[in-house]
Amino acid sequence: MMKKWLTAAVCSMMVAAPAGMALAQTTAPAPSTTAGTAATGARADYDAAVKQADADYKAASAKCDGMKDNAKDVCKAEAKRDRDVAKAQAEARRDGTQKAMAKAEKTKADRDYDVAKEMCDDKKGNDKDVCKKDAKAAHEKALTAAKVDKAAATGSRSDVAEARADAKKDTMDAAYKADKERCDAMSGDAKDKCQADVKAKYGK
């Protein structure tokens, strides 16, 4: 009797196993397509943003063509800045990486600097020199975050610390040169005092 019972049990298990496997195969979830859909959407958004940036640049450039002299140069620089920044930001949104965001920050800093330098061309003498050095100082300050973010995305903690130290030094050096340039508009004791104050301020 026991032998017959065991035989029946084994046969029952052999029949049930394929059925269970079939059920598992039938009810197993299909591979998710969410990631693929998201990637496709991100590319579509990026392509649309790039197309819009090019269209806006074309329209802005057309307006600049009706201007003259430095006003035209500034207008062109602003149009180029807006286009390049829009594209860089679209790329950062598409990639979603710290490296891409750092690149967008650097692009904005560089293009803002281009615009600022063009604006300085309307000035003369020491005013022009000061304007350009102020623009450089602002540029270095804006680059600080981009440099640190890039280091954080591609390097170690020591790389980040080094990037912060370098960025701080570059920012301070640019600010020092701008303040020192202001002294050149003076003469005599006033100039000497100005230069001494600037050196004391920056520890030179």
pLDDT, one tens digit per residue, over 98-128 is 889 989 999 999 999 999 999 999 999 999 9
Q: Which residue has the tokens 């591609």?
A: 154
Distance of CA 17 to the CA centre of its chain: 57
Q: Which residue has the tokens 């640049």?
A: 57
**pLDDT, tens digit, for every residue of 138-175?**
999 998 878 887 888 777 888 888 888 888 898 999 99
- pLDDT of 19 higher than 90: no
Per-chain mean pLDDT for the chain:
84
Rounded distance, CA 85 to CA 103, Å?
Answer: 10
Q: How confident is the model at residue 77 (pLDDT cuts 50, 70, 90)?
A: very high
DSSP 8-state code for residue 185: T
Q: According to the model, what pLDDT value does residue 137 have?
A: 94
Burial environment of residue 110 by CB neighbours within 10 A (0 to 12, 13 to 18, 19 or more)? middle
- pLDDT of 56 higher than 60: yes
**pLDDT, tens digit, for every residue of 25-43?**
444 445 455 656 767 778 8
Q: According to the model, what pLDDT value does residue 34 have?
A: 60
What is the pTM assigned to this prediction? 0.72
